[in-house]
Amino acid sequence: MAAPITHIVLTKKIYNQHFSDKSFNDFIIGTSLPDIRYLGTIDRNKTHFPNAALNETKQEKSFTAGLKLHSIVDRVRENFLLSYDLYSKCPESKFITQSIKFLEDSTLYAKIDNWENYIELFNNVLQSELEVGLNRQTVDYWHRTLQDYFSRQPDNKSIDTFVKRIKLGQEVADEIKENIEIISKNPEVLNYINSLYKQFEDLVLEKSSQHRS
């Protein structure tokens, strides 16, 4: 599973080619909603679609297409990470998965140069978000969490804030930051992140082809 910034960066990379007919606003909000589950207010199976496929997703309305693309991104990213045997190249830690995600976000943040436009998208709650089974207060809290997180390249302070807002605690944040300090110096980890971005569209199309077969 990818973290919030990586989801938007990878989604933007394929938007023009595959989803240009969708409302960009609704599509981005849709693809950013599923991990609201970290707040513990909705079951994962209501926001994630393990069998989502690209061609079928392209036929959905804007918000739902974004919602389902989130699951495709998660699946493609995890398979690519495993193909690098990346966990064996990282320190043992209960939170190494989260640590890799935050490093991905920090590394890929600069791929978008107008984050202020994305932040503005989350000023309003969509009716579609509420129809998933969430209340307005929870969605608004998630939007504000994302807006704050998107406001700068992730650093120790923003990691502390984000981890606190999803109720994991300071000890977890500290372990994640310690892991990042180590893995950010590993060229194999950085190569994985840069390759994920570079190859992402091909990986999605390859996965789509496998799904059809």
pLDDT tens-digit readout, 187-204: 999 999 999 999 999 999
Helical segments of 61-109, H only: 62-83, 96-108
- Counting as low any pLDDT under 50, the low residues of the chain are 213
Q: Return the pLDDT at 213.
A: 46
Give me the sign of the Cα torsion angle 75, 134, 99, 197: positive
Q: Return the pLDDT at 172.
A: 95
Q: How many CA atoms lie within 13 A of 93 on its CB side?
A: 22
Q: Return the pLDDT at 167.
A: 86
Tokens 């595959």 correspond to 18
CB atoms within 10 A of CB 177: 16
Q: Return the pLDDT at 36.
A: 94
For the chain, the structural domain boundaries read: 4-212
Q: Return the pLDDT at 74.
A: 95
- pTM value is 0.94
